[in-house]
């Protein structure tokens, strides 16, 4: 599952390669978009992510899933892990964060 704003746009080349490797959209490859301008703690977003993880887990036949996040999607997943660690542990095998601003934005460092 890929998490992040406009995940198809950012991950286009990766998605194309994953499809060549045998991933199937809606079966073994899913996206999760959200409004990055909203708080990562927005309950609606957390609830949607929990439901998405569960539905992807079920679609995989009960196999734990791999999550790839980009940029603010990394902060969203990290926030979710802190608030819902039981759900994360139940459904997620691995998490890869790409270019997540865990230490803030570089231009704000003085």
Ranges of each domain in the chain: 2-108
Paired with 48 in beta bridges are: none
Q: Does 92 or 31 have the greater pLDDT score?
A: 92
Judged against a pLDDT cut of 90, whether residue 3 lies above it is answered with no
Pick the range with the lowest mean pLDDT from 10-19, 49-58, 70-79.
10-19
- Homologous superfamily of 2-108 in CATH? Alpha/Beta hydrolase fold, catalytic domain (3.40.50.1820)
Integer CA distances (angstroms), 30 to 11, 12, 33, 49, 100, in order: 12, 13, 10, 12, 20
Q: Which of 5-9, 13-17, 86-90 has the highest mean pLDDT?
A: 86-90
């Amino acid at each position: 599952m890929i998490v992040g704003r406009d995940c198809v746009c950012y991950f286009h080349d990766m998605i194309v390669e994953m499809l060549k490797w045998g991933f199937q959209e809606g079966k073994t490859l899913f996206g999760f978009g959200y409004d990055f301008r909203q708080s990562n703690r927005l309950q609606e977003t957390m609830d949607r992510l929990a439901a998405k993880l569960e539905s992807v887990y079920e679609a995989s036949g009960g196999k734990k899933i791999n999550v790839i996040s980009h940029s603010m999607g990394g902060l969203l997943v990290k926030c979710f892990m802190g608030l819902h660690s039981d759900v994360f542990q139940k459904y997620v095998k691995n998490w890869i964060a790409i270019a997540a601003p865990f230490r803030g934005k570089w231009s704000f460092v003085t």
